[in-house]
Amino acid sequence: MKLFLCSHFSSVGNLIKEEIKMKKVVFIDWSKTLSYGLFWEQLQNKEHPNSAYWSIIRKWLFIDNHGLLDPWMRGKLSTKEVLDQMSQDTGLDRSLLEQELKISCENMRFCIDNLPQIIARIQKLGIKVVIATDNMDTFSRYTVPAMSLKKIFDDIIDSCQIGYLKDDELPSDKILFFDKYLSDHDWSYRDAILLDNSPDETGKYKQLGFERILIDSPDSLRSELEKITDAI
């Protein structure tokens, strides 16, 4: 169980309108922020013909081999390598594993129906809206094209493509996940807002002047986004 420090929580509502007007970009996390879709999600339905696969996949990947998730999200392991090993260790059909994974990734959906319209309103105010996700190569390969995410968002930063995660502890004075993107646009941490389902546990974002806002439900996501549009 994690203990969260209230001093590290924030919301757009805590920012004054002048501060919000100065922001250049809103970064939004994917998993449990923009979408609640899961890998192999359809296999959790007991009526699915391949539902027996789910308990085996869950145990192998999320319990016995949980350590593979970090290098997979950093691009040090590919989906092919992970599925090859999973199939070899469990005896599950390799092609079926990939097929069902692809289906789940392509069928992910936003957690609020009119999200593209809300994003468009923020963009019309001159603020860029960018997906910032700790994710696997499946995201860019399957989810991004299936959901036409590049047509909705200004950009996508994916850990798998840059090799960093948003909460890497080192170096203590930088957040490497965001540094190149911000530098390329001549922006600083203070020009950005991050909406994420994980809190700033160490206080690093706060210390560096990077506004990080906790999103714990679809309603809170909608509320924080609408506060941005209402403030300008």
Of residues 202 and 21, more confidently modeled: 202
Q: How many CB atoms lie within 10 A of CB 2?
A: 6
State which of 71, 106, 141 marks the end of a domain. 106
Mean pLDDT, to the nearest integer, of 124-149? 98
Residue 219, pLDDT above cutoff 60 = yes
- Residue 80 belongs to a domain: yes
Cα-only R_g, the chain:
19
Identity of the amino acid at 97: L
pLDDT at 18: 66
State which of 106, 132, 153 marks the end of a domain. 106
- Total number of domains in the chain: 2
Under 8 Å between Cβ of 24 and 185: yes
Structural domain span for residue 91: 41-106
Here the CATH number for the domain that contains residue 171 is 3.40.50.1000
pLDDT at 22: 86
Residue 36, pLDDT above cutoff 90 = yes
100 and 116 part of one domain: no
Joined tokens for residue 79: 């989906």
Residue 1, pLDDT above cutoff 80 = no
pLDDT at 11: 63
pLDDT at 6: 38
Dihedral (CA of 62, 65, 67, 72) sign: negative
Residue 20, pLDDT above cutoff 90 = no
Under 8 Å between Cβ of 74 and 160: yes
Of residues 3 and 97, more confidently modeled: 97
The DSSP code sequence of 159-200 is: HHHHS--TT---STT--HHHHHHHHHTT--GGGEEEEESS--
Task: Give the C-alpha separation, 216 to 207, whole Å.
Answer: 22
Residue 7, pLDDT above cutoff 60 = no
82 and 137 part of one domain: no
146 and 201 part of one domain: yes
- Residue 95 belongs to a domain: yes
Residue 176, pLDDT above cutoff 70 = yes
124 and 137 part of one domain: yes
Planar angle of CA 60, 64, 65, nearest 5 degrees: 80
145 and 66 part of one domain: no
Residue 16, pLDDT above cutoff 90 = no
- Residue 1 belongs to a domain: no
Query: Which residue has tokens 């250049």?
Result: 24
Mean pLDDT, to the nearest integer, of 95-105? 98
Residue 203 backbone class (left: φ over 0; alpha: ψ -120 to 50; beta: rest): left
Task: Give the C-alpha separation, 13 to 190, whole Å.
Answer: 16
Residue 211, pLDDT above cutoff 80 = yes
State which of 106, 125, 147 marks the end of a domain. 106
pTM exceeding 0.85: yes
Of residues 1 and 131, more confidently modeled: 131
Under 8 Å between Cβ of 150 and 126: no
Joined tokens for residue 9: 């929580």
Joined tokens for residue 154: 């200004």
Residue 4, pLDDT above cutoff 90 = no
Mean pLDDT, to the nearest integer, of 200-217? 96
Identity of the amino acid at 51: S
pLDDT at 3: 34
Residue 101, pLDDT above cutoff 60 = yes
